[in-house]
Structures are given as structure tokens and as C-alpha cells.
Amino acid sequence: MILLEQISKSYAGGKVKAVSGLDMRVKPGEIFGFIGPNGAGKTTTIKMITGVLRPDEGRVVIDGIDMGQDPIGAKGRIGYVPDSHDAYDRLTGTEYLDFIGSVYGVPLEERRARAETYLNLFELAGAAGDLVRSYSHGMKQKLLLTGALLHDPPLLLLDEPMVGLDPKAALLLKQEMRARCDRGRTVFFSTHVLEVAEKLCDRIGIIYGGKLIAVGTLAELRSGDAGASLEAMFFELTERGGRDAG
Amino acid sequence: MKLWRQFWLLFRLFFRTQLGLSVARDAARRDKKALFKFAGIGLAVAVGVLSILLTYGVILFSLMWPASQIGIGAAVLALIFFLCMGLVLILGTVTMITMVFGARDAELYAALPLSQRAVFLAKLGMAYLLELLPTLFLGLPAVILYAVYTPVAWWYWIAAALVLPLLPVIPMALSALLAALLMRLAARFKRREVFMVVGGLAIAVGAVLLQGQFNAFFSSVFADEAAVSAMLQDSAEALRAMTAVFPPVGWAAGALTAEGLSWLGQLCLFLLSAAAAGGLALWLGGRVFYRGALAQLETAPGRSKGYNRASLGASSPLKALYVREWRMLLRTGVYALNALTGIVIFPVMLVFMPMMGGASGDMSELLPLLEGWAGPLLPLVAAGLMLLPALINPAATTALSREGRQFWLCRSIPVPMRTQALAKLLCSWSIALAGVGLIFGAALLALPIPAADLLCGLPVAAALSFPVTALSMLPDLLKPKLTWNSESEAIKQNINSLTGMLLALAAVLLAAGIALPLALFLALPDPLTALVLTVLFAGAGYGGWRLVRALADGPLEAREE
């Protein structure tokens, strides 16, 4: 579903290397957790996958479509929720969903059915007619999630999706993620909450200093140490990564 | 913390942020080239200000010198003070509304252990400093020139040192009261954006009408030969006329120029009125500032609406983008105000100015002259008038900058940038077209231009408004300002607004340069000339769209954040 081949990205005219030579493959039907400390390159990688940023080198392929060759085709297969929660503040929730439905070309009946499903699921239907600017942080997150799910994308890309969500909404989102993967859809998300990654993900990638330092199932990451928690492994791997870099 | 310490702390903060000193210092620290950029901008501003000051000095000299010779220098000084206070009233109202009514930082300061009086005082202090600059710019040369050409007593300089810095106080107090009133209303009805748009348009229309009233007033004064003669012979008569319009102007000028001991009385009157006005503004602002500013963050009561199935409707991406563009524009107060002012102001000016002794006289004298000179000239003049709003179209010149932090959506949706740019172009063009239509209606109603000529000018203006809009969008598509903290910054403090308008002006001048000789050369009946020009400008419109498309496909597709 996602193929990243040697992608790199620098900022400040090449002075800051955010992501360096990243190779990764995510299969259909997988929940893939992307973890790493602050400034490790998680958001930059996600933005390159969505086409918001262009890699300096390498290529991104989504569902067999090269993002560099056919960005519109590739973007049409992604539902994306950024970590910033910036939506159009002066639209109502319904207008935002209608806009997203139109730009993704979702047929009217499907649009209505999915909007109702997710607005009810996230208990947002009561506020759907209000301006987004009146929403709380969590409500904006729920609206962006509903928008990202509106076209039933083969790939759902979420940057820190649990931030701002109340416990019930977080649980519902986790259930939805699992249900999607059971239907052969793919979910790729970044998180700081290692417990969520540990319980939810089929595979996990750990990024540090712009490089993928580990990737695999939880069992593969544990390798010899069967009892190790993801938290312990994360600290060990990132500290080792820091020493190697130093 | 004591009130004055809090005030000083906040004032220094506002000073650094408002004047962009922190940004400049940070940019210079990160990149040495930025230092040269800021130095260059500073130098350009200084040269510009000096050249204006020089021009103003020459005008003032040519006014003050003969006035002093016939003994009416005091009247000229009073006139300059009148201008200072009028300017501060207009500029100060905009500043106060932006800094107090439009304050986005009230929530931040309300959470800090600072008294609201100190916050309001610091904001007022910053606004005062901003208004003091134009006051000194206009007033100081007049005070100096008066003293050069008229013998003055020792107390003249003392009175000047007291009066000049206090000139902005009374008009600023009026501005603060207006801002407080707006906040009170907005807090009561929770419709901040609506108040901002309607209030802003009302102020703009009011300013035009006020100018018309002044024109009419001065026309009537100068029509009265006896009154003019009295004013030319005696400064006191001129001062009395101005004091009748706005008493503090007479007191301020009298404090510097009155004879005997009466200067002291005039000075006291001026100082007392300034203290009373300033005190009232401080007292009121210190009481209602937080209540008004924080109430604006609340949403309107009883408006909460649930999901409505019927409000979801299928449309094409282009239509969805176009509708979204309009919604964002109309629902954001500062955007709506800036985008709509042009299409409201120009028709209002056309309709009301003639009634107040403004442009109609000149126009009615000019029209027969134009008619006699060349046949197709009048439709072209009409088309030029209809194009005025297209020249000042912030909806076009900041089309992409307004996306700001939401630009990630433009990048992530499966819609080509050229389609997104087209939606923005069509939205901006709609505003220009509305301007064409409204000015057509206003001209039909108020100007002595034959309807047939206006009708011939209409399609020409409509066709030309498209390439003009497209050209004015280009700077913003090439280099949008996507990083901003307030919407006002996106649409007003954006250099693309200026460059876009200059491009639009250049386009209209170029079009006029082509259309006029072509029309004279063709020597066809007016409707046929209009048809030829409409087709020509429609072709130019296609060229304009190609340019927009080229930028959308190139730099815009490559732009990240």
C-alpha cells in the first residue's frame, strides 16, 4: 500500500536533514505505527507520503501510484488528518464535510451515509451546523477524522490522532482503525503514546534523527528479549541510535 | 505589580511586536542577508518620508509666507491643527478598532496577573505613539514656519511643546469611545464579525459623506464673499469659524497665537479638554475592555444547529472550491471589509458626491468637451470608471495568502493547483464584476453620461476586469504570505496587495493605451467599437488565465508550506 524508496528531505537549504534515505513498505490491511521522539522526522515523513511535501530524493508510491508521477491519483487514495487540527474555521462542520466530499468526488448518497455514520459515531452530529471556530480541540479532530473517512480511502494517514480526543472517542477510533484493516484498508499513524502502538499496531517503525532505526512486528522488535515492553525497547533503540549518530 | 510597571512592561512588548522589531532582530540573527533587507526597507521608508516632508514643507511655505504677510498666519496654523486632528480621528479609529475591538490577545492577558486598566492603557499608549508621528509630521513644520514669519513671544514655544503632543488626545478619545461602543454592542449580540463588516463599511461610507459635507461647507463659505473677505483680513475671524466647527482646534491654535494673556486661558481650556477626554477614555476602556474583548470570543446564543442531511449536496470540485472561497471571504470580518469596501465606496461616491457639490460640476463641464473631441471616448471613460473596484481588489491580490495554516489542505486534496487557482480567480472576478455592475447602476443614476455610452462601456469593462483580476493575482500566486498570526496581517500587511494593485493599474493603463488609438483608428459606431474591444479584452482574459495557470502548474505546485 505504501512504498517509500530512499526518501530524503532537508530544510534550511540542506542544513537541516529531517529525513534521510528512508526505505519502508506498508502492506494492505495493516495498522502501521510510526513512533519516534520529538523532531525525529515523523511529521515530515507523513507529509511526504500525503504529497504535502516533496522528497528531495527518492519516491513515494501509494497503492501502486507514484506520488511524483500522478499526485492527484495518489492523493485521492489517502485520507489524511494532520497534527495541527487546522480546518477551515469559518465553515460549519457540515459545509466542511460537503467540501471534502466534493473535492474527493464522493457520490451524494455515500457522502450522506458516511457523514451520518461518523458524525454519530463521534457524537458530533449535534454541532455539525456550527462554525468550526466554535469547536474544541477534540471536536476539530473528530471533524477532520470524519472528513478523512468520508471517501473511504484505501489508506488512512493520521498524525498523532489520539491527541485531544476524549477516552470514548479514542476507543471508537481504535475500533474503527481495526475494522478498516479487517476490510483490507491500511492505517498508518504516528503517536507518542507507546501503549496505543503496542496494543493496536500490526507493525511498528521507529524513526530517530531522520532514519528508520527499527521496523517490524512487536515480536520481531523484541527479538531475544521476549518480555520487553515497547517503551523499554524504544528507549534502548533511540539511545543506541543517538550513540551511533554521535 | 504596580499599574505603571505593568503598563511599561506591556507597552514595551507592544512596541516590539507592532513595529516588527523582534521579527527583524530574529531574522537578522538567523540570516545576515536579512539585515541588509531590513536596512534597505528602512532606508527606502526614510527616503520616502523625507521626500514627502520636503514637498509638504514647500506647500506649507507657499501658504504660510503670504498668510503671514497679510496677518492671517494664525488661521493657517489652526487649519493645520484641524487637519492633524481630523487625520488622527480617521487613522486613530482604524488603529483603535484593530488594537482594541479586534484584539485577539485579550484571552492571553486576561489569564495573566495584569489589571485590565494596564492592558488597555498600554494599547492606548501604543495607539497614541502611532498617531503622534503623523501629528508631528504635519504640525511641527507649521509651528516652526509660523514662528519664522511672525514675531512670537517667549511663551509660544512652551505652549507649542504642550499643545503639539496633546493634539491626538481628543480625537483618539473619540476613537476609543467608538471602539468601546462597538465592543459593548458586539458583547451584547455576539456578532463580532457582522459588526466589524457593517461598522467598517459604515465608517468608510461616513468618511466619504463627511468629505462631501466639508466640500459643501467650504464651497458655501467661499461663495460668501463678505465672509471670505473678513477671514482674509482678520485671523481671529478665521479662528472663530474653525472653533465653531470643532472648539479644541481654536483653543489649541489660540494657546499659541492669542494676544495678551488670553493665550493662557486658551491653553488651559485645551489642556482641560484633552485631560477630560483622555481621562474618560481611560476610565471607560479600563472598565469594559476585558468584558467586551472576551465576550467576543463567545459564540452567538441559540444558533447551535445539528446535522442537516439536506445541506450535503453533490457538486464539482471547482464549484465546491468557489463556494468555499466565498464563504471564507464573507464570514471573516477583515476579509469581507477589505474585499467589499471598493465595490461599496465607489458607487456611493458617484451617487452622493454630486449632491454635495463634489465631482458633478467638474464632470458636467468635462462631458461636452469629451463628446465634442471624439465619439468613442465617452464609453471608454465609462468603462474606466466601472473598472475602479477591479483595481483595488484585495480578494484577488491576497487570494492564496489567506489560506495561511490551512494550506496543507490545498496540498493534500486530489485537485490540481490550477483548478484551485481558477476557483480563486473566479471568486475575485465575481467581486470585480459586481463592482462593474454597481458602478454602472450608480453612473446611470447620478452621472450625466448618456445611457447608450454607459451600455457600450459595460461589456468592455466586464471583459477587461477578467485579465486585470488575473494579473493582480500573480504576485500572490508566486510568493504568498502563508505565515501570519491574524487575518488582518494576511490581507492588509501583505506586500502582494500593493504589487497586485500596481499590476492591475498597469494593465488598465496599457489597455487604455491600446483601446483609445484603436477606437479612433477604426472609426466605427460606438456599439461596434465596444464589441471589438470586448472581444479583444476577452482574448486578453484568456492570456491572463494562461499566466495564472502557468504559475499554478509551476511554482504553486512546487510550493510546500
Half-sphere exposure of B370 (CA within 13 A, CB side): 18
Find cell 472663530 and name the residue: B240
Residue written as grid cell 477630560 = B276
User: Is B409 an 8 Å CB contact of chain A?
Assistant: yes
Confidence of residue B233 (pLDDT cuts 50, 70, 90): low
Q: What percent of chain B has pLDDT over 90?
A: 30
Considering the domain architecture, whether residues B356 and B279 belong to the same structural domain is answered as no
Cell numbers 465609462 correspond to: B382
If you average pLDDT over residues B325-350, what whole number do you get?
Answer: 87
Q: Are B280 and B362 in a shared domain?
A: no
Instruction: Pick the more confident residue, A59 or B195.
Output: A59
State how far residue A88 is from chain B, nearest Cα, in angstroms.
Answer: 7
Closest to B400 measured CA to CA, from B382, B421, B383 = B421
The average pLDDT across B289-295 equals 70
Q: By the 8 A CB rule, do B433 and B377 touch? A: no
From residue A27, how far is each of A63, A69, A186 by CA, in Å? 9, 21, 7
B30 in contact with A at a CB cutoff of 8 Å? Answer: no
User: Considering the domain boundaries, does residue B311 fall inside one?
Assistant: no
Residue that the C-alpha cell 511643546 belongs to: B161
- B433 found inside a domain: yes
Which of the four pLDDT bands, split at 50, 70 and 90, describes residue B483?
Answer: confident
CB atoms within 10 A of CB B222: 11
Instruction: Name the region of A14 (left: φ>0; alpha: ψ -120 to 50; beta: rest).
Output: left
State the pTM of this model.
0.77
Instruction: Report yes or no on B8 lying in a domain.
Output: yes
Task: Give the residue with greater pLDDT, B398 vs B63.
Answer: B398
DSSP H stretches of helix in A89-226? 93-103, 108-121, 137-149, 167-182, 194-200, 218-222
Residue B334 near residue B492 (C-beta atoms within 8 A): yes
Write down the pLDDT at residue B472.
Answer: 95
ipTM for this model: 0.87
User: Closest Cα to residue B395, out of B421, B424, B419?
Assistant: B424
Residues B259 and B209 in one domain: yes
Query: CA B501 to CA B388: how far, in whole Å?
Result: 11
- Is there a domain that residue B300 lies in? no
What's the pLDDT score for residue B219?
A: 67
In which residue ranges of chain A is pLDDT below 70? Answer: 224-227, 241-246
C-alpha grid cell for residue B319? 464549484
Residues B404 and B546 in one domain: yes
Separation of alpha carbons B159 and B157, rounded Å? 5
pLDDT of residue A48: 94
Give ∠ CA B218-B222-B227 in degrees, rounded to 5. Answer: 115
The bridge status of strand A203-208 relative to strand A186-191 is: unpaired
- Specify the pLDDT at position B229: 67
**CA B177, B178, B179, B180: dihedral to nearest 10 degrees?**
50
Same domain for B78 and B43: yes
How far apart are alpha carbons A212 and A109 in whole angstroms?
42
Which residue bears the cell 527499527? A214
Q: What is the pLDDT of residue B435?
A: 94
Convert the pLDDT of each residue in B78-132 to its tens digit: 889 988 998 888 888 778 877 776 666 777 787 788 888 888 888 888 889 988 9
Query: CA distances (Å), B173 to each of B18, B96, B166, B280, B439, in order?
Result: 21, 10, 11, 8, 36
Nearest CA in chain B to A49: B412
b/e string for A107-142 if b means 16 or more Cβ within 10 A? eeeebbebbbebbebbebbebbbbbbbbbeebbbbb
- Cβ B319 vs Cβ B325: under 8 Å: no
Are residues B161 and B230 located together in one domain of the fold? yes
Burial state string for B93-122 with b = 16 or more CB within 10 A and e = fewer than 16: bebbbbbbbbbebbeebeeeebbbbbbbbb
Lowest mean pLDDT among A183-192, B22-31, B52-61, B440-449: B22-31
Specify whether B236 is located in the same domain as B203.
yes
Cβ contact B305–A84 (<8 Å): no
pLDDT computed for residue B363 by the predictor: 57
Which residues from A are below 8 Å from B556, CB to CB?
none
Choice among B69-78, B146-155, B186-195 with the minimum mean pLDDT: B186-195
Chain A positions in Cβ-Cβ contact with residue B412 (cut-off 8 Å): 50-52, 75, 78, 80
Share of chain B above pLDDT 70, in %: 83
All three cell numbers of A163: 491527541
For chain B, first and last CA: distance in Å? 42
Boundary residue ending a domain (B295, B326, B342): B295
- CB-defined contacts A:B, below 8 A: 118
CB atoms within 10 A of CB B520: 13
Give the three-class secondary structure for B375. Answer: coil
In chain A, which residue's Cα lies nearest the Cα of B311? A94
CB contact under 8 A, A103 and B317: yes
Are B281 and B321 within one domain? Answer: no
Q: Quick one: which of A152, A147, A50 has its CA closest to A99? A: A147
Looking at the fold, whether B455 and B399 belong to one and the same domain comes out as: yes
What is the per-residue pLDDT for B227?
66
| Helix, strand, coil percentages in chain A from 3-state DSSP, rounded to 5 | 40, 25, 35
Residue of A90, A131, A133, A150 to mutate, interface with B, max B Cβ within 10 Å: A90
Q: In terms of C-beta density within 10 A (0-12 exposed, 13-18 middle, 19 or more buried), how is residue B5 classed? A: exposed
Q: Is the CB of B309 less than 8 angstroms away from the CB of A92? A: no
Given a cut of 70, is residue B192 above it in pLDDT?
no
A119 to B304: CB separation less than 8 angstroms, yes or no: no
- B303 in a domain, yes or no? no
Q: B411 contacts in A (CB within 8 Å)?
A: 50-52
Task: Give me the number of domains chain B comprises.
Answer: 2
Confidence of residue B221 (pLDDT cuts 50, 70, 90): low
Instruction: Determine, yes or no, domain membership for B160.
Output: yes
Query: By the CB < 8 Å criterion, does B300 face chain A?
Result: no
Residue B290: name the closest of B102, B99, B110, B101 by CA. B110
**Can you give the length of chain A in residues?**
246
Residues B321 and B291 in one domain: no
Residue partners of A63: CB distance under 8 A and separation at least 6: A1, A74, A77, A154, A155
pLDDT of amino acid B310: 74
**What gap in Å lies between CA B454 and CA B447, rounded to an integer?**
10
Chain B nearest CA to A120, separation (Å): 10
A contacts of B314 (beta carbons < 8 Å) = 101-102, 107-108, 111
pLDDT tens profile B437-450: 999 999 998 888 88
d(CA B301, CA A124): 19
What is the DSSP-derived secondary structure letter of residue A130? S
B72 Cα to chain A: minimum distance (Å):
57
What is the per-residue pLDDT for B387?
A: 92
Residue at B91 is within a domain: yes
* Residues of B with Cβ-Cβ distance to A18 under 8 angstroms: none
B376 alpha-carbon distance from chain centroid: 34
Of A189, A71, A87, the closest CA to residue A143 belongs to: A87
Q: How many CA atoms lie within 13 A of B369 on its CB side?
A: 6
Confidence of residue B235 (pLDDT cuts 50, 70, 90): low
Helix (H, G, I), strand (E, B) or coil at A7: strand
Residue B322 lies in a domain: yes
Smallest Cβ distance to B312: which of A51, A111, A127? A111
pLDDT for res B397: 94
- Hey, what domains does chain A have and what are their CATH numbers? 2-77+153-245 (3.40.50.300), 87-152 (no CATH)
Strand order of the β-sheet with A186-191 is: A78-81, A155-159, A186-191, A31-35, A203-208, A211-216
Cβ contacts of A109 on chain B, cutoff 8 Å = none
Question: Which residues of A fall within a CB distance of 8 Å from B409?
Answer: 87-88
Spatial CB neighbours of B54, under 8 Å, sequence gap ≥ 6: none
Range of the domain at B25: 3-295
Cα separation of B326 and B330, whole Å? 6
Report which of B375, B550, B361, B378 is spatially closest to residue B454, judged by C-alpha positions: B378
Are B511 and B549 members of one domain?
Answer: yes
pLDDT tops 70 at residue B63: yes
Identify whether residues B434 and B353 lie together within a single domain: yes
